[in-house]
Amino acid sequence: QKEVEQDPGPLSVPEGAIVSLNCTYSNSAFQYFMWYRQYSRKGPELLMYTYSSGNKEDGRFTAQVDKSSKYISLFIRDSQPSDSATYLCAMSAGAGGTSYGKLTFGQGTILTVHP
Amino acid sequence: EADIYQTPRYLVIGTGKKITLECSQTMGHDKMYWYQQDPGMELHLIHYSYGVNSTEKGDLSSESTVSRIRTEHFPLTLESARPSHTSQYLCASNTGNNEQFFGPGTRLTVL
């Protein structure tokens, strides 16, 4: 079983829709949670970064972390065609011990927002 | 946002050639990473470094090697490229807050 499981999609939504992207994980040592957006043939771009449980909002994006359920989500409000990309969740136990800040990624969800 | 650079962006090369993929960052980050990503697949860590003269193998076995002689520079080398090495290679570095930023990637094709 993978340490991080991400809803594979693909997702296709109309412009203006609310999008929900989700990941579950099994390693209770994870403390840092990230969402990346990756356009085709580009490197991942850091969208949201959260430490421990709670919510974080940035414009149209909201990240939620529930450590008790080992579940994280990314919500996109008022989705736009420019949001069409692959979204990757990633997690880290931090820089201490033997983790060295290494990230474990989900497999990614392809999102298409059509006009 | 970190400035992290990778060259070349695209490389097509014949079997048996030696290649070096360059990665550099200007932020003074200690921790740097190399990931491999096949089309439509997740990223897999192949090498990482937590400072000058330190390198470690990642979770995915790779025939490549890395070096870290300077903080800003973390090149990856394949001594003898094979078609199975065809993939996208992504370099990243960490801030002090464990935020990890990626370069644009090198898309390698071995014929």
pLDDT recorded at residue A42: 87
Write down the residue that tokens 């990223």 correspond to: B43
Residues lower than pLDDT 70 in chain A: 95-100
Contact residues on chain B for A34, CB-CB shorter than 8 A: 99-100
Q: What distance in Å separates the CA atoms of residue B91 and residue B76, rounded to the nearest whole number?
A: 9
**Residue-averaged pLDDT of chain B:** 92
**Hey, are the CB atoms on B43 and A88 less than 8 Å from each other?**
yes
Q: What distance in Å separates the CA atoms of residue A32 and residue A48, rounded to the nearest whole number?
A: 11
Contact residues on chain A for B50, CB-CB shorter than 8 A: 100
**Hey, are the CB atoms on B100 and A41 less than 8 Å from each other?**
no
pLDDT band at B42 (very low <50, low <70, confident <90, very high): confident
Beta-carbon pairs below 8 A across chains A and B: 58
Mutate to test the interface with B, among A42, A51, A86, A111 (most CBs of B within 10 A): A42
Contact residues on chain B for A107, CB-CB shorter than 8 A: 41-42
Six-digit token string for A9:
């999609």
Please answer whether residues A76 and A60 qualify as being in contact, where contact means their C-beta atoms are separated by less than 8 angstroms: yes
- 3-state SS, chain B, equals CCCEEEECCEEEECCCCCEEEEEEECCCCCCEEEEEECCCCCEEEEEEEEECCEEEECCCCCCCEECCCECCECCEEECCCCHHHCEEEEEEEECCCCCEEECCCEEEEEC
Six-digit token string for B68:
């870290």
Contact residues on chain A for B32, CB-CB shorter than 8 A: none
Cα B53-B51-A37 angle, rounded to 5 deg: 130
pLDDT at B5 over 90: yes
Q: What are residue A76's DSSP bridge partners? A: A19, A61
Give per-residue pLDDT as tens, B51-105. Answer: 999 999 988 888 899 999 999 999 999 999 999 999 999 999 988 777 889 999 9
Closest chain B residue to the Cα of A86, Cα to Cα: B40
Helix (H, G, I), strand (E, B) or coil at A82: helix
A43 part of contact set with chain B, CB < 8 Å: yes
pLDDT recorded at residue A2: 84
Contact residues on chain A for B105, CB-CB shorter than 8 A: 41-43
A114 part of contact set with chain B, CB < 8 Å: no
pLDDT recorded at residue B100: 87
pLDDT recorded at residue A99: 63
Tell me which residue of B80, B56, B51 sits closest to B68, measured CA to CA: B51
pLDDT recorded at residue B1: 52
pLDDT recorded at residue A98: 59
